[in-house]
Structure 1
Amino acid sequence: MRIGMKMLGISGTIIGEKTSSVVRKVVKHAALLEPDLKTEMLDLRDYEVQFCDGRNPAAYNLDTQKVMAAVLSADCFVIGTPVFQASMAAPLKNVFDLLPPDAFRDKVIGFIATGGTYQHFLVIENQLKPIAGYFRAYVTPDYVYAHRDHFNDRHEVVDASVLQRIKGLARQIVEMSKALQGIRTAAG
């Protein structure tokens, strides 16, 4: 992996802690796998992101510009959302709407979703993966879906199979990103 490659974890909600907890675990594990990987966490609870309305990016408030800049400066991503009404959280969709079409082009994305039913994993398949396709991103084969029963009362994942999927997702993001970096370097 080239020096300076950066993974950005995005917790795409402004409420709750479960999604952020899982995203942070993937980012942390990726950093353990690849010591040269720079990591950053973007928790939308920490920002006052304005709604996308088509204005010039420089006209948005500072928090909105920081979020856009963080995404544009990253080389790979782990993006998480809770599932509400069988859909991704609105703050995450707003971030996607704010970004230019090439924001994720040729970059690797691993997805996470958390929810209250065991069928909500379908949001990853039916909504998040098509959005990544629009952005021309590479999506990891695996993803992590965590049900509320997979957490303890401190919002930490305690389910062994989910913990294994977290490690697997981190590995896939790192390995795919390294492979793509190698291809780019070889192509000159």
Structure 2
Amino acid sequence: MERQASEGIFADKDVQDRALSDWEGVWQSVNPYLLNGDLDPVLEQKAKKPGGKSVEEYRAYYKKGYATDVEQIGIEDDVIEFHVGQTVNSCKYRYSGYKILHYASGKKGVRYLFECQQGDANAPKFVQFSDHIIGPRKSQHFHIFMGNESQEALLKEMDNWPTYYPYALHKEQIVDEMLHH
């Protein structure tokens, strides 16, 4: 069932709540790896699939998808730290439930919603995680959606999904993960 869920095929009744601790750890953006060409083997593999886009089309797609200035994210004890250059903004977040999204492709996804509890924090007020997992389990990588308007506004975002892998992984390990998982 988990394999199908990771591919966007699951029954709504199988989706479960998750705690922020599922994403605990230190994470790095994969955007720099895309921009400097380290992810080219992944783009080349995708381009070989029947009906796929060209390498350049995939590069443009992921350039928009991965775009972010948040280079690193740290999560511990319900606090999320967002690292942008030398600046670190953080906030304590509370779980706000999940939303099941239905995509044009016929597949589904789940976003887990969290809200900043400190009014004076410079961190995003609203955060959503998507990691192709539909129940309590430690995340291996994730897409994050961040903003200050509302959860509803973030749920409409389909083109920009900054993506993070564990900070301890080297670029070769990230490429291997993307190619084989």
Q: What TM-score do the two structures reach when normalised by structure 1?
A: 0.23
Say which structure is richer in strand.
Answer: 2
Bigger fraction of residues in helix: 1
TM-score (norm. length: structure 2): 0.24
